[in-house]
Amino acid sequence: MSMTFAENLREAIKITEMTTKELADKTGINENTISSYLKTNGSIPTADKAVKIAEALNTTVEFLVTGFETDFYRMRHTSSRFAKAISSLEKLPEETRDPILKMISEMSQKFSSS
């Protein structure tokens, strides 16, 4: 069963943990317009708006339209998730951050040698 544009858009928004307001701000598209795209039988954006939405959500128009997730999308999504984690780590005080980095290093070594 293929998913609709609205379902795919909801999924991309959920993955990025972005609000419709944040998406509107990033794309320059009115928040009410974005909300109309999220409705089950809502409107479909024009190509130029779909491109803006896809770029803001770090995905592809292909994913929003078809729900098809290419390896390229998965790679970008994973990179985005790690970038958020790294950004959060960088905000921590050094005495909190260092034990976390040590634990990550130890876990990485443990799982790469198994």
Q: Would you write out the chain's pLDDT as a tens digit for each of its 114 residues?
A: 568 899 999 999 988 889 999 999 999 999 999 999 999 787 899 999 999 999 999 888 988 998 876 655 555 555 666 777 777 888 889 899 889 989 988 888 888 765
CATH code of the domain in which 76 resides: 1.10.260.40
| Total domains in the fold of the chain | 1
CA–CA gap between residue 37 and residue 40 (Å, rounded): 8
- CA separation for the pair 72, 104 (Å, rounded): 26
Domain region containing 37: 5-112
